[in-house]
C-alpha cells in the first residue's frame, strides 16, 4: 500500500511548522511540488527550505509537476473550479502511480492548513472514489493565514460570544456574506472591501504574512481603504503576485 501525508506547512513563516509536521516530513520519501508558474516560485522555494531545515534523518526526493491553472473569465466560477480539480486529479493520479512505489510515503506540502480553501483533500478523496490508484493518507494540520493574520495584528477573531465568518472576496463583493459581525476575507483579487457600505467598519489587513515582505494596515475603512488599495497595487507590481487577507469588524 502507498501512503500519503498531506502536511500543513503554515502560511509563510518556516517557524509556523508544528512538531507533528516535522515528524511527518521525516517520514516522506517523495515530495510532490506543484508548480504554479513563475510568480509562485517563492512558495516552491519555501517548501524546499522547510525540507532542508527540518528533515534530519531521512533521504527524500522532490518531484515537480506543473499544476493546471483555472480558466479565468466571465464563465461560471464553480464550473471552472470543478474543471480545474478534474485536471489536478489527473496530475495527482499520474504522480502517485508513476513516482511512488508500494510501501513508500508521498508528501504534499500544503500552504497554511489543508482544511481551508485548498483542494488537495477533495482531490485525494475523488481519486480514491474513482478507484484508479490505491493509497491511504493522513492529514497534518498547519497554521492558517487566518491565524497568522490575527496573531500579527494581536487581535482575537471574534467579539465576545459572537460568530466569525470566513469567506472570499468574490462573495463579499456580491453581497453574499452572512450575519456575522466579524468576517475574514480571503482570495480577494478585486479590493472587495471597497464595496462595504458602512465605512465605520474596521479592517485588519495583512499581505505576505509571516514572510520578510509582510505588510500590515488597520483602521476604519473610511480612513485606510484608499491606503490599502494603493499599497496593495504597488506591492503586487513589485513582487509580481500578492497574497493578502483581512478581517472586517462591523461597528
Ligand atoms: C488558496 S488559499 C489557501 C489558504 C491556506 N490553506 C491557509 O490555510 O491559509 C490562498 C489565500 O490564503 C490567504 N493567504 C495565504 N497565505 C497568506 C499569507 N502569508 N499572507 C496573506 N494571505 C495569505 C490569501 O487570502 C490567499 O488568497
* CATH code of residue 85: 3.40.1010.10
What range does the domain containing 204 cover? 145-249
Query: Do 237 and 251 touch, CB atoms closer than 8 A?
Result: no
Q: Please check whether residues 6 and 20 belong to one and the same domain.
A: yes
What is the average per-residue pLDDT within 59-82? 79
Indicate if the pLDDT at residue 37 is higher than 80. Answer: no
Indicate if the pLDDT at residue 6 is higher than 90. Answer: yes
pLDDT attached to residue 177: 83
Q: Is 99 exposed, middle or buried (0-12, 13-18, 19+ CB in 10 A)?
A: middle
Identify the weakest region by mean pLDDT among 38-52, 95-109, 198-212.
38-52
pLDDT attached to residue 72: 66
pLDDT attached to residue 32: 92
Q: Please check whether residues 53 and 97 belong to one and the same domain.
A: yes
Q: How many domains does the chain have?
A: 2
Atom 15 in ligand 1: residue holding the nearest Cα: 145
Q: Please check whether residues 8 and 77 belong to one and the same domain.
A: yes
**Ligand 1 center–CA 79 separation, angstroms:** 22
Indicate if the pLDDT at residue 67 is higher than 90. Answer: no
Neighbouring C-beta atoms of residue 214, cutoff 10 Å: 14
Collapsing DSSP to helix, strand or coil, 104 comes out as coil
**Ligand 1 center–CA 242 separation, angstroms:** 10
d(CA 106, CA 7): 10
d(CA 1, CA 79): 33
d(CA 203, CA 167): 15
d(CA 215, CA 150): 13
- At 186-241, the pLDDT tens digits run 999 999 999 999 999 999 999 999 999 999 999 999 999 999 999 999 999 999 88
Query: Do 12 and 209 touch, CB atoms closer than 8 A?
Result: yes
218 pocket-lining for ligand 1 (C-beta < 6 Å): no
pLDDT attached to residue 78: 78
% of the chain at pLDDT higher than 70: 95
Q: Please check whether residues 175 and 115 belong to one and the same domain.
A: no
Q: Please check whether residues 126 and 76 belong to one and the same domain.
A: yes
Query: Do 205 and 242 touch, CB atoms closer than 8 A?
Result: no
Atom 3 in ligand 1: residue holding the nearest Cα: 117
- At 114-152, the pLDDT tens digits run 999 999 999 999 999 998 888 999 999 999 999 999 999
Q: Which of 247, 244, 173 is nearest to 12 (CA)?
A: 244
Indicate if the pLDDT at residue 38 is higher than 60. Answer: no
Q: Which residue has the higher pLDDT, 40 or 237?
A: 237
Q: Please check whether residues 55 and 127 belong to one and the same domain.
A: yes
Q: Which of 150, 176, 107 is nearest to 11 (CA)?
A: 150
151 pocket-lining for ligand 1 (C-beta < 6 Å): no
Last residue of a domain, one of 140, 175, 196: 140
Hey, which of 85, 145, 208, 236 would you mutate to test ligand 1's pocket, going by the most ligand atoms within 8 Å of its Cβ? 145
168 pocket-lining for ligand 1 (C-beta < 6 Å): no
Collapsing DSSP to helix, strand or coil, 120 comes out as helix
Q: Please check whether residues 124 and 155 belong to one and the same domain.
A: no
**Ligand 1 center–CA 176 separation, angstroms:** 20
Q: Please check whether residues 173 and 114 belong to one and the same domain.
A: no
Arithmetic mean of pLDDT over the chain: 92
- At 71-85, the pLDDT tens digits run 666 677 778 878 888
Strands 61-66 and 202-207: unpaired
**Ligand 1 center–CA 20 separation, angstroms:** 21
Q: Please check whether residues 28 and 87 belong to one and the same domain.
A: yes
CATH number at 162 reads: 3.30.950.10
Amino acid at each position: 500500500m502507498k501512503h500519503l501525508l498531506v502536511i500543513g506547512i503554515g502560511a509563510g513563516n518556516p517557524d509556523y511548522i508544528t512538531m507533528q509536521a516535522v515528524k511527518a516530513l521525516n517520514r516522506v520519501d517523495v515530495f510532490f511540488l506543484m508548480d504554479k508558474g513563475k510568480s509562485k516560485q517563492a512558495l516552491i522555494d519555501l517548501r524546499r527550505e522547510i525540507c532542508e531545515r527540518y528533515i534530519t534523518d531521512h533521504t527524500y526526493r522532490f518531484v515537480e509537476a506543473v499544476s493546471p491553472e483555472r480558466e479565468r473569465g466571465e464563465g461560471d466560477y464553480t464550473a471552472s473550479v470543478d474543471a480545474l480539480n478534474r485536471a489536478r486529479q489527473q496530475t495527482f493520479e499520474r504522480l502517485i502511480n508513476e513516482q511512488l512505489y508500494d510501501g513508500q510515503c508521498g508528501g504534499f506540502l500544503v500552504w497554511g492548513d489543508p482544511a481551508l480553501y485548498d483542494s488537495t483533500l477533495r482531490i485525494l478523496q475523488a481519486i480514491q472514489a474513482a478507484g484508479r490508484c490505491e493509497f491511504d493518507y493522513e492529514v497534518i494540520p498547519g497554521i492558517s493565514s487566518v491565524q497568522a493574520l490575527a496573531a500579527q495584528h494581536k487581535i482575537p477573531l471574534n467579539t465576545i460570544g459572537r460568530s466569525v465568518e470566513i469567506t472570499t472576496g468574490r462573495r463579499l463583493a456580491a453581497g453574499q456574506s452572512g450575519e456575522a459581525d466579524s468576517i475574514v476575507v480571503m482570495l480577494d483579487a478585486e479590493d472587495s472591501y471597497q464595496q462595504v457600505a458602512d465605512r465605520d467598519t474596521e479592517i485588519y489587513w495583512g499581505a505576505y504574512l509571516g514572510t520578510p515582505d509582510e505588510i500590515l494596515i488597520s483602521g476604519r475603512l473610511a480612513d485606510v481603504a484608499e491606503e490599502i488599495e494603493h499599497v496593495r497595487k504597488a506591492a503586487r507590481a513589485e513582487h509580481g503576485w500578492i497574497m493578502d487577507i483581512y478581517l472586517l469588524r462591523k461597528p
